Amino acid sequence: MRALTRRQAERRFVVLTSVRWLPAGLTFGMIVLLPLERGLSLAEIGVLMSLQGFVVLALELPTGGLADAIGRRPLLLAGAAIAVASTWVFLMAESFVVFAVALVLQGLFRALDSGPLEAWFVDAALADEPDAELDRPLGRAAAALGTTIALGAAAGGALVAWHPIAGSSALVLPYIVSAAVYALFGVLVALLVREPHRERVSLAFAVRETPLAMRGGLRLLRGSRVLRGLVLVEVFWSIAMIAFESLAPVRLTEQFGSESAAAAVFGPASAVAWGLFAVGSSSVVFVRRRLGPAGAAMLMRLLNGAVVVVMGIAAGPVGLLIGYGLAYLTHGAAGPLHNALLHRQSGPETRAMVLSINSMIAGGAYSLGLLALMPLAQSTSTITAIAAAGAFSMLGVVGYLPALRQQRAAGAD
């Protein structure tokens, strides 16, 4: 089978990224609003969402090692099937226990899905052009992701406003559409993801090789101060994400008085925010040219934390939504810069594993942050929790210092 060129791989990567993240746009913010509507408290929702993160935390290393050992395609196919199942369970849930089952399945999907697609693309791109710059195509994929989520959020808000299913919640239809899109993603993975030929993999081979791949990734982490710093950034970044992903719709619900009213506004607002995410992702090349990848990543981390603080303390829904949009603008710019730095610290044998380590730390920090911030929001106010999350996240800039030193040393050579 003929290998893909870098441009062919990039086009497929962008298409698959777009379809993969469309369901996230369709249901954006509703992962909090649907359980709220069905009677769960903020503290219970915090526990539920942390369950997903803890499942990811437990499975990231094994699934990352498995992807490096047996290939990226099988994990992507399995993840798509589980995404369909988790969406339907979440849609049907009426109790804490059933919501918990849905979030555990969602965590399994996230663990399977977190690194293989990007690792597949980077391997294919570098196999064709070993010196290819990665932040530009990663930025294009992130821009496509942002645009797709923006369109999905607009469509999700429209579906909520339309509410054609009598006798059910207005939040139900976006989940039905999301399940169908996840199924489509699985079909496209089967058609478009092409890997070098591997011998037929047995269960015994997977069990034997996965721990070896895990040890290789952990050995790389232990030996690289730069990689350890990059992974540390995720601890702080994840706390900011809780503010604009989970607490923003809660704050909007407080301001509008009902979950359905908040969802109807949050859909268009999310569309704009993810459009700004796409703009930020597209602009990374210009920022990198002036500051270098590490310096640009540091600037984005500081700006993102600062606008989250503003989002928390701003008065009224207009101020909240302006801060929300700016948070996504800087979030979009930060992602490709961060991941390009990660990929330069790994190789084909450890690439999915490094992405999984990065995602594992992010998921663990997100889960622990939920257990702290959701009760804080309930006992004090969402304003306090959002502002505290933004201020804390700015400390993550220190994690980029080893990469900055490496960048300056390379520039001096």
Residues 21 and 335 sit within 8 Å (Cβ to Cβ): no
Which stretches of the chain score pLDDT less than 50? 413
Phi-psi region of 292 (alpha: psi -120 to 50; beta: other; left: phi over 0): left
pLDDT, position 316 = 80
Residue 126: closest CA among 11, 209, 4, 216: 4
pLDDT, position 25 = 84
Handedness of CA 87, 46, 394, 391 (dihedral sign): positive
pLDDT, position 88 = 94
Give me the phi and psi of 250, to 5 degrees please.
Answer: -65, -45
- Residues 96 and 65: their CA atoms lie apart, in Å, by 32
Compute the C-alpha angle 334/125/14, nearest 5°. 55
Contacts of 190 (CB under 8 A, 6+ apart): 77
Contacts of 2 (CB under 8 A, 6+ apart): none
Handedness of CA 120, 124, 130, 131 (dihedral sign): negative
Residue with tokens 């498995």: 66
For the question of whether the overall pTM of this predicted structure is more than 0.95, the answer is no
Instruction: Return the CATH architecture of domain 6-406.
Output: Up-down Bundle (1.20)
pLDDT, position 202 = 53
pLDDT, position 413 = 44
Compute the C-alpha angle 345/55/73, nearest 5°. 55
User: Around 240, how many Cα atoms within 13 Å sit in the side-chain half-sphere?
Assistant: 33
Domain locations along the chain: 6-406
- Residues 277 and 244: their CA atoms lie apart, in Å, by 13
Contacts of 336 (CB under 8 A, 6+ apart): 135, 138, 139, 141, 142, 281, 284
Residues 336 and 282 sit within 8 Å (Cβ to Cβ): no
Residue 244: closest CA among 298, 311, 300: 311
pLDDT, position 199 = 55
Residues 325 and 403 sit within 8 Å (Cβ to Cβ): no
Residue 112: closest CA among 137, 141, 84: 84
- Residues 331 and 325: their CA atoms lie apart, in Å, by 10
Residue with tokens 């746009």: 25
Let me know if 42 is exposed, middle or buried by CB neighbors in 10 A (0-12, 13-18, 19+): buried
The per-residue pLDDT for range 23-35, each reduced to its tens digit, is: 988 887 678 888 8
